[in-house]
Amino acid sequence: MTLRLKINLIVGALTVLFIGALFWLQLRAMRESVHEEVVSANRVAAQLLDRVAWRYEAQGTPSMLAFLQGIGLVRSNEISLLDLDGHELYRSPPSPYKAGRDAPAWFDSLVAPVPSVQAIDFPDGKLVVRSSASRAILDAWDDVKVLAGSGLALLLLANVFVFWLVGRAVRPFGQIVTGLNQLQAGRFDIQLPRLAGHEAAAIGAAFNRMVGELHEHIETERRAVRAERQLADSRELTHWIDQHVERERHMIARELHDELGQSVTAMRSMALSITQRIHGLDPQAESAARLIAEESLRLYDAMHGIIPRLTPLVLDNFGLAEAMNDLVERLRRSHADVQIALEIELGECALDSDAALALYRAAQEGISNALHHGHARKLHLSVKGTATAVALTLQDDGRGLATDWSTRAGHYGLRWMTERIETIGGTLGIEAAQTGGVRLTVRLPLDATAKVMAA
């Protein structure tokens, strides 16, 4: 049911109630008017006939009959003349007023007053005066018909006027409904025109603001989706580049270890052999051979120092725990004045190669920063894992972080490491330690890492 029809039904019902109330009041007034008219006429007629009866009492019944036939009808009264035996000698004629018509019986029962009967006795008969409200009731019935017709016409005119007026008033709401349907269909650029009426104009303005904000939110969401997709593509590209860089580093480290390492070892062996053969024969050549052997040894040591920085071969061969031990041992040999404590508890933690390499690189970068930037002398490295996650913590006693370290130029290694860890689903955090220095924390959810690798 539409709002327009509901309002029309309400107005129609109120109009019907109003007309019904007016009809009831009019009916009540008609009943009182009929009662007043009939009773008054009956009393007047009775008093008049009573006086006439005294006058004609001595002349007898024929004289009274002649008088009654002379006066004829008395309004709202029926007059009867009876003899001593009760036989009717005379009855007043019917009223010619609206002859042949009567009000409906149900209306008569509603309006008609209680009949009033007056009896006047004289020596040879009796005169009976009975009230008759039929003509007054018929007049009331004609008035009711006029009132009912006027009421129906008023009801019809009121409903037609209200129907037109409400239709004009609710017309803007149809435009609002159309706009909502178009919005539901996916048209987020719909705008309503300026609507007539204060309420409709306010709703239309609110609708246009809502659509504008919705359009902005959708555009923001689309931009966010595009940015997220670009970020995902960037992470995939970064991950792919990291894998290729690590493969290149691994290949170079293998070449250094297998090819160049063997060549340097062979050069040193040949230099030592030459030294032994010409010992005492050619001091200058012997000194040159020893110099070649010593330089070969230094080259071999330098090469073995470069290999772990390129790729930790021990990580591929023996796992994360041995690689961390190797990293710490090399640090102790190269920095005798630095104290470093290592704590590894991996348990049943299953690490893939990417996760293990990310943790190793994070420890490597964190130690390098602590020594070169923080001038730390004590470090504590902890690696703990469970079935679902692995966490690395590195804490030093260095100079701590500068207030603008995150915006200052440099620290590219940490930025690169953060991107690398986030690429495989982990998080990297850097904060000032309570006891001074810096605390670096890396957390890798193993299930997230697995999902990234599977993707």
CATH no., domain 313-455: 3.30.565.10
The CA distances from residue 404 to 192, 411, 419, in Å, are 51, 11, 20
Residue 121 sits at the vertex; the CA angle it makes with 116 and 125, to the nearest 5 degrees, is 115
Which residues 6+ apart lie within 8 Å of 344 measured at CB?
A: 320, 321, 324, 325, 382, 383, 384
Q: Which amino acid is at 300?
A: Y
Q: What phi, psi does 316 have (nearest 5°)?
A: -70, -35
Which segments within 123-169 are labelled E, that is strand? Answer: 125-131
Query: DSSP 3-state assignment of 278?
Result: coil
Cα separation, 7 vs 154, in Å, equals 17
Provide the pLDDT for residue 455. Answer: 40
Between 72 and 403, whose confidence is greater?
72
The neighbour count for residue 418, using CB atoms within 10 Å, is: 18
CB 336 within 8 A of CB 324: no
Structure tokens at 256: 């250094």
Provide the pLDDT for residue 441. Answer: 93
Provide the pLDDT for residue 451. Answer: 42
pLDDT digits (tens, 9 = 90+) for 99-154: 778 888 887 787 777 777 888 777 777 878 887 777 787 788 888 888 888 888 88
Q: Which of 340, 344, 312 is nearest to 328 (CA)?
A: 340
Walk across the sheet containing 339-345 and list its strands: 339-345, 378-385, 389-396, 438-445, 427-432
Query: DSSP 3-state assignment of 117?
Result: strand
Query: Where do the H-state alpha helices sit in 256-352?
Result: 261-277, 283-310, 313-318, 320-334
Residue whose entry in the numeric block shows the structure tokens 């005169």: 127
Cα separation, 218 vs 307, in Å, equals 52
The neighbour count for residue 237, using CB atoms within 10 Å, is: 11
Between 301 and 370, whose confidence is greater?
370
Structure tokens at 102: 């009567």
Residue whose entry in the numeric block shows the structure tokens 């009540």: 28
| Pairing of β 117-122 and β 378-385 | unpaired
For the chain, the structural domain boundaries read 3-92+103-162, 193-311, 313-455
Angle between helices 353-372 and 320-334 (to 10 degrees): 20
| Pairing of β 378-385 and β 339-345 | parallel
| Pairing of β 389-396 and β 378-385 | antiparallel
Provide the pLDDT for residue 382. Answer: 92
- For residue 408, is pLDDT > 60? no
Provide the pLDDT for residue 391. Answer: 92
The CA distances from residue 169 to 160, 198, 204, 205, in Å, are 14, 11, 14, 17
High-pLDDT (> 90) share of the chain, %: 5
Q: Which amino acid is at 355?
A: A
Cα separation, 269 vs 236, in Å, equals 47
Provide the pLDDT for residue 431. Answer: 87
Q: Alpha carbon 38 to chain centroid distance?
A: 74
pLDDT digits (tens, 9 = 90+) for 180-219: 787 777 777 777 777 777 777 787 788 777 877 887 888 8
Return the bridge partners of 121, or none: 126
Query: Where do the H-state alpha helices sit in 57-103?
Result: 61-71
235-239, 422-426, 436-440: least confident range: 235-239
pLDDT digits (tens, 9 = 90+) for 295-346: 877 776 776 666 666 666 677 777 888 888 888 888 888 888 889 999 998 8
Query: DSSP 3-state assignment of 16?
Result: helix
Return the bridge partners of 135, or none: none
Cα separation, 360 vs 274, in Å, equals 42
The neighbour count for residue 211, using CB atoms within 10 Å, is: 20
Q: What phi, psi does 411 have (nearest 5°)?
A: 55, 35
Q: Please compute, for residue 333, the number of CA atoms within 13 A of its CA located in the half-sphere on the CB side.
A: 8
